[in-house]
Structure 1
């Protein structure tokens, strides 16, 4: 039997690790259990764009808090944060209208954004095509991270400071509440005890509580991404979000013109069929990440999404990307997909069992941007520290 903890967290992705971080900031004794050697799922299979600007008002607030947390940690330990901003590039008059409206909304939210003219966009972003861009909206406070680096360095930071007891290759097979404690048993028959448990891993949620899982509104999304070969001396700063992003991101849903503009879109287009919006981000090795797409299935039918990459989707995304930027090379060195869980009717899945077991998952594409800020509030709520 291990030492009793104040909190055990199951799942060491961004959502679980930031819950651990904030619990320790509040003086709690924490164990973090990860089924794999290191996180291998959604947290490391994304762009690494921290873009509160793309979220609705509620989650923008979490995202802005996340920015503060990322920068605080980066100031003492390198977790790969780069302060290089985000831009939305409008390609037609409808999209210009939307970024102008979002600019006004963010003025009201006291969140800094800067409207860029066509010429300013062309000067700021090398290789941007003159016949694509009409205007831009720049968010100077936003950052990028290297996903496969960030989460492992964050764990290293917490472990090195002796704040965290981290157990990898530790699959949880049982989690039961008895009175004022929760007993957790692993596949290797190791037993942990805690006052509370937070389950942030969707697969272990499904294994531990299949009936709750089946009744949830969780669905899964498959996103395809690709990475070019290094681009030599070419430099592309920050997160680049384009016209299709303007038409997909939740922040724009709050714009007065959004519904009217969406009505005029072709429902049979390939970007609709595959849920494509074109993003660019340059990695630290000089390569450029391009994507992404969205295919959906109920969580119970995840196998319907297949285990292969749909090359028709990749070729469509590449063709669209080439309409936006002239990169030195579009030769692709890596292709992959990520699987993200999200909710059909809620912004995140939360369910409590016997007062002390808290299931928190299904954050979807908001994880890299929103987890740090959301977890800070959620720890205070779970431990009644508000």
Structure 2
């Protein structure tokens, strides 16, 4: 087996894999190292929604490009990509005002969307509680995926069709530069060399450069998500986002009315736990529902705990029941996910000219990693 590559990527989540993919497309020799048997971090513990409409600034543009990339890949291998759109359902006058402003904003930059009246919402989404919608804004071009299946297929495609050397169960414990190259060492003492190493470590801060991460300002968000039993008669297409999402996502925060937004009393406890309720029906007919957000600094991740808080789950379920009419309380499982984030949009740090750390993308990873990684690789090899 070869031991020298043009690029080594540490971390086989969506961020790392897209960097490996784009480098391989530029005919670079690429080694992708994943510490687990299969990626089990934020990449596979999310909703599986590609929703550029919720992002702001350059991240919207990365997300829009990522939609194209997902669809290009889907034409070559089944990544479970489904183009069923996203809808933000407003439940009060303030949310409806923001939905209208977002519609106006995206009309100006030619990003397809449409406004839906209350009657149109209930006709298009008959599983909504009749009292919930005031109106909605719909984005027909956005995508839904099954994250674990997508990652398995994407990794296989990169390995089999793009020439990426992928090694799982490969924990990197050392990364150093010398003599014009970088060397990584695994727990089994194997070493690999490359002219460039990208470390896409998610919220794993202990294996490499722990002192750096302790001072990085990175924080970790713990989220709770749930999955219902299968509802074979339910036809819930696309990404179903709600009034709480309108109150949370970055794209709405840039709008004129957002500064005057107040929190109704019935949202106060949900806001305390960072809860915004959204839905996505999985391929088996079950529905993924969530989520909450609790935070800790990079050096205090253990404070978040590994447990599931039943009180938080019940808050999510109670709000979900206010929104949809099917028996959403019939749950089969719940889980905790973790992702790292920073106040600076993303954490990019050059150890030296050969080693770069890229993490802290927050909740934008599934939507925008494709476009972001494409730009990063183009810059490295320009």
- Give the root-mean-square deviation of aligned CA atoms: 1.4
The answer to whether the 8 A contact 2:203-2:220 is kept is no
Q: Secondary structure at the match of 2:259?
A: helix
| CA drift at 1:267 | 11
What is the aligned partner in structure 1 of residue 30 from structure 2? Answer: 30
What is the aligned partner in structure 2 of residue 157 from structure 1? Answer: 157
Structure 1 moving runs of 4+ over 6 Å: none
Q: Secondary structure at the match of 1:257?
A: helix
What is the aligned partner in structure 1 of residue 331 from structure 2? Answer: 332
| CA drift at 1:202 | 3.7
Task: Map Cα deviations across residues 253-306 of structure 1 (whole Å, 9 max, x no partner).
Answer: 1110001114x5559911111000000100000001111000011111111111
What is the aligned partner in structure 2 of residue 298 from structure 1? Answer: 297
**Which 5+ residue runs of structure 1 have no aligned equivalent?**
none
- Establish whether residue 16 from structure 1 lines up as the match of residue 16 from structure 2: yes
What is the aligned partner in structure 1 of residue 273 from structure 2? Answer: 274
| CA drift at 1:74 | 0.2
- Cα 1:378–1:266, aligned 2, differ >3 Å: closer, same or farther? farther
The answer to whether the 8 A contact 2:3-2:191 is kept is no
What is the aligned partner in structure 1 of residue 365 from structure 2? Answer: 367
The answer to whether the 8 A contact 1:234-1:328 is kept is no
What is the aligned partner in structure 2 of residue 286 from structure 1? Answer: 285
In 2, Cα distance between equivalents of 1:123 and 1:217: 46
In 1, Cα distance between equivalents of 2:148 and 2:202: 19
| CA drift at 1:211 | 2.3
In 2, Cα distance between equivalents of 1:322 and 1:243: 14
The answer to whether the 8 A contact 1:231-1:329 is kept is no
| CA drift at 1:57 | 2.5
What is the aligned partner in structure 1 of residue 95 from structure 2? Answer: 95
The answer to whether the 8 A contact 1:126-1:235 is kept is no
Give the TM-score taking structure 1 as reference length. 0.96
- Cα 1:21–1:232, aligned 2, differ >3 Å: closer, same or farther? same
What is the aligned partner in structure 2 of residue 376 from structure 1? Answer: 374
In 1, Cα distance between equivalents of 2:234 and 2:78: 24
| CA drift at 1:3 | 3.2
Task: Map Cα deviations across residues 54-77 of structure 1 (whole Å, 9 max, x no partner).
Answer: 001221100000000000000111
Q: Secondary structure at the match of 2:323?
A: coil
**Which 5+ residue runs of structure 2 have no aligned equivalent?**
none
Matches within 5 A, 1:130-145: 130-145=130-145
Give the TM-score taking structure 2 as reference length. 0.97
Q: Secondary structure at the match of 2:261?
A: helix
In 2, Cα distance between equivalents of 1:342 and 1:189: 31
